[in-house]
């Protein structure tokens, strides 16, 4: 499960002080000194019990004046720092079961009861409310190919809650959790690590009962553009998809290119494409190709 960081510090800091420290020292989760430095500043920001209200009030004022929208990351999130660096900060809002937003939208809108890992490291602290609970698992990312229905070998660890003030380090491609709605509205503050390689690393959805990978939840912009371009029947897009399917360094992009091609084909042509894909040289592509051919046989 995520590492609990028992870092005690009674000092408080402003958001600007926290961001300045992170800009100066960076956030490298693979370096213990860098990790603990970020944890120290996150703890101090947590100790500032008024900063988030100030951010939200400023955002409301900006909205009236036609200013920028710091919640553009999503309705559940307020971004607290600029994007595009090797880290950024955000506040996450977690509605409780009794809240109108939860009753109106349900689990899926807030990623509740969605067992998943992350393709990035991040620090989180319980800032407000009782905190969400999670069923925590671990798995070996290097041991799976990423095919849907593949055995994940999940290891259940425990169910625990992000209590007020609890500070945790979620580890990329290792920690899996299924979040449960808190007893009442809760807020967590996160420091997220990001890198150029992140877009090529998969983030999985799991089915713990079957102990399987049940989906991919990290589709990038390049994947979407390719699917749309092929769907619009652009000749250059078809050529690019064919090239990507044969030679792209990313196994996931090879698969996406084949999926884009298959979407424009009839059943027999689709079966032939997936038959060829079984000898693509990628265990991921071969496994998915066999699954797609089985689905076509049932159809």
Tell whether 52 and 136 lie within a shared domain.
yes
Clarify whether residues 151 and 14 are in a common domain.
Answer: yes
**Residue ending a domain, choose from 194, 216, 238:** 216
Distance CA 130, CA 141 (A): 31
Question: Are residues 285 and 142 part of one domain?
Answer: no
Query: What number is the average pLDDT over the span 215-221?
Result: 78
Nearest to 162 by CA among 202, 190, 201, 200: 190
- Could you tell me if 47 and 9 are in contact, meaning their C-beta atoms sit under 8 angstroms apart? yes
Report CA-CA distances (Å) from 205 to 130, 170, 212, 227, 295: 26, 16, 9, 21, 20
pLDDT band of 299, cuts 50, 70, 90: confident
* Mean pLDDT to the nearest integer, 254-265: 92
Cite the beta strand spans of 181-231 per DSSP E.
Answer: 186-193, 204-207, 212-216
| DSSP letter, residue 179 | E
Specify the number of domains making up the chain: 2
Tell me which of 86 and 124 has the higher pLDDT. Answer: 124
Question: How far is C-alpha 56 from the chain's CA centre?
Answer: 24
Lowest mean per-residue pLDDT among 61-70, 87-96, 238-247, 277-286: 61-70
Domain range for 24: 3-216
Give me the pLDDT at residue 62, please.
73
Give the domain CATH number at 11. 2.60.120.10
Looking up tokens 């983030």 gives 203
pTM confidence score:
0.87
Is residue 26 located within the same domain as residue 116?
yes
- Report which DSSP code applies to 282: -
Question: pLDDT at residue 149 above 70?
Answer: yes
Residue 211's contacts (CB-CB under 8 Å, 6 or more residues apart) are: 151, 152, 153, 154
Closest residue by Cα to residue 137 from 64, 62, 204, 72:
204
Q: Reduce the DSSP state of residue 41 to 3 states and report it.
A: helix
Mind listing the pLDDT tens digit for each residue in 3-31?
Answer: 999 988 999 999 999 999 999 999 999 99
């Amino acid at each position: 499960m995520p590492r609990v960081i028992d870092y005690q510090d009674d000092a408080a800091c402003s958001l600007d002080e926290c961001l300045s420290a992170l800009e100066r020292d960076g956030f490298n989760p693979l370096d213990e000194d860098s990790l603990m430095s970020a944890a120290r500043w996150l703890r101090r920001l947590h100790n500032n019990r008024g900063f988030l209200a100030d951010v939200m009030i400023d955002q409301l004022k900006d909205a009236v004046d036609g200013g920028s929208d710091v919640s553009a990351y999503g309705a559940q999130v307020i971004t607290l720092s600029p994007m595009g660096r090797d880290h950024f900060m955000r506040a996450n809002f977690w509605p409780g079961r009794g809240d109108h937003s939860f009753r109106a939208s349900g689990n899926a809108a807030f990623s509740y009861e969605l067992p998943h890992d992350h393709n990035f490291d991040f620090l989180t602290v319980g800032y407000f409310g009782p905190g969400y609970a999670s069923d925590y698992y671990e798995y070996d990312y290097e041991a799976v190919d990423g095919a849907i229905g593949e055995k994940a070998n999940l290891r259940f660890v425990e169910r625990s809650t992000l209590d007020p003030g609890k500070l945790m380090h979620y580890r990329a491609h290792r920690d899996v959790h299924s979040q449960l709605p808190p007893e009442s509205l809760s807020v967590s503050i996160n420091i997220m690590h990001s890198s150029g390689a992140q877009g090529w690393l998969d983030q999985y959805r799991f089915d713990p009962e079957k102990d399987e990978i049940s989906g991919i939840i990290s589709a990038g912009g390049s994947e979407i553009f390719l699917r749309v371009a092929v769907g619009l029947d652009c000749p250059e897009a078809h050529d690019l998809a064919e090239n990507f399917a044969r030679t792209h360094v990313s196994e996931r992009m090879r698969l996406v290119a084949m999926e884009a091609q298959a979407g424009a084909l009839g059943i027999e042509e689709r079966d032939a494409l997936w038959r060829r894909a079984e000898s693509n040289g990628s265990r991921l592509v071969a496994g998915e190709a066999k699954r797609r051919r089985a689905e076509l046989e049932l159809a």
